[in-house]
Amino acid sequence: MTETYDPENIFAKILKGEIPSNKVYEDDLTFAFMDIMPRADGHTLVIPKNQARNILDVDSVDLAAVMTSVQKIARGLVQAFDADGILIQQFNEPAAGQIVYHLHFHVIPRHEGVKLKPPASEMADQEILQSNAYRLRAAL
């Protein structure tokens, strides 16, 4: 059983403009921004603008819009970061590793032979995040 949505979660605050982010893409239903603790350069988060705790309670229209944006971001990351592949991660509820309770997809460019950094291990330098956001926006 899922809990209720918390409108004060960090991603809701980013959407309201209460917390800054390095935005890379936005449309009517979705928002994409750089992960501040990236597992690889270009690590991007894609979220719905409407409230959804996770995939278990998201409206199907919002989920379809998010997946369309995930694909757009994935294609942009391949181009911008010359990626050999793309890792998509999404977690639902604590038992599955969800930490922020607003539906989000991690879109991570991958390169052969390069290991991922551990999750939530190191805050990235803002200049690097801004540069990576610029690279991705230019590819979109």
Whether 1 shows a pLDDT value over 80: the answer reads: no
Q: What is the pLDDT of residues 62-98, one digit of tens each?
A: 999 999 999 999 999 999 999 999 999 999 999 999 9
Q: Kindly list the catalytic residues.
A: 104
Domains, the chain, ordered by start: 10-139 (3.30.428.10)
* pTM of structure: 0.96
Residue 72 and residue 135 in contact, taking contact as beta carbons nearer than 8 Å: no
Dump the DSSP string for 38-64: -SSTT-EEEEESS--SSTTT--HHHHH
- Helix (H/G/I), strand (E/B), else coil: 115: coil
CB atoms closer than 10 angstroms to residue 70: 21
What does the pLDDT read at residue 3?
80
Nearest to 111 by CA among 33, 39, 10: 39
**Residues near 58 by beta carbon (within 8 Å), at least 6 away in sequence:** 48, 52, 66, 103
What does the pLDDT read at residue 2?
54
Question: CA-to-CA distance for 133 and 41, rounded, in angstroms?
Answer: 10
> Does an H or E element contain 31, and which?
strand 30-34
Residue 68 tokens read as 């369309």
